[in-house]
Structure 1
Amino acid sequence: MRQYQIIIGALLLMILTSCSSTSTLSDEFADFDLSAYQSFDFFTVDGPDEKLADYDANLEFLKEEINRQMTERGLKQDSSSPDIKINLGIVVEDKVQTRTTNLATDPFMYSGQRNYTWESREVPVNTYKEGTLTMHLVEGMSNKVVWAGTASRVVPKKTDKKQRAAQEAVSELFDQIDN
Structure 2
Amino acid sequence: MKIVLLSALLLAGAACSPVRVESTTQAPGVNFSAYKTYNFMDVTARNEAAFAGGAVGIEELKQAVGREMERRGYQRAESPDLWVNIGVVTEQKVQTRESTIWEAPRYIGQRRYHWEAQQVSAGTYREGTATVDVVDAARNEQVWQGIAASALSKNPEKLAARIDEGIATMFKKYPVPPQ
TM-score w.r.t. length of structure 2: 0.74
Structure 1 pair 154–32 and aligned structure 2 pair: CA distance change class (3 A): farther
2:8 corresponding residue in structure 1? none
Unaligned runs of 5+ in 2: 1-18
CA RMSD of aligned residues (A): 2.8
From 168, 171, 174, the counterpart of 2:171: 174
Q: Distance in 2 between matches of 1:89 and 1:50?
A: 9
Q: For the structure 1 residues 49 and 158, does the alpha-carbon distance in structure 2 shift closer, same or farther, using more than 3 Å as the test?
A: closer
Deviation at 1:74, TM superposition (A): 1.4
1:82 alignment counterpart: 80
Quote the Cα distance in structure 2 between the aligned partners of 1:82 and 1:147: 16
Q: TM-score, normalised by structure 1?
A: 0.74
Q: 2:162 maps to what in 1?
A: 165
Match of 1:10 in 2: none
Structure 1 residue runs of 5 or longer lacking an equivalent are 1-19
SS in 1 for 2:170: helix
Is the 2:133–2:146 Cα contact (8 Å) retained in structure 1? yes
Tell me which amino acid in the other structure corresponds to 1:98.
Answer: T
C-alpha distance in structure 2 between counterparts of 1:50 and 1:166, whole Å? 14
- Answer whether contact 1:21 1:151 (CA < 8 A) is retained: yes
- State the alpha-carbon separation in 2 of the partners of residues 166 and 151 from structure 1: 9
Q: Which has the higher strand share?
A: 2
Q: Secondary structure at the match of 1:163?
A: helix
Distance 1:49 1:94, change over 3 A: closer
What is the one-letter code of the residue matched to 1:174?
F
Once the two structures are aligned, what percentage of the paired residues are identical?
32
2:151 to 154, 169, 176: 154
Q: After superposition, what is the alpha-carbon deviation per residue over 1:81-134, rounded to whole angstroms, capped at 9, x for unaligned?
A: 21000011111111111012132x313288xx7254543321111322211111
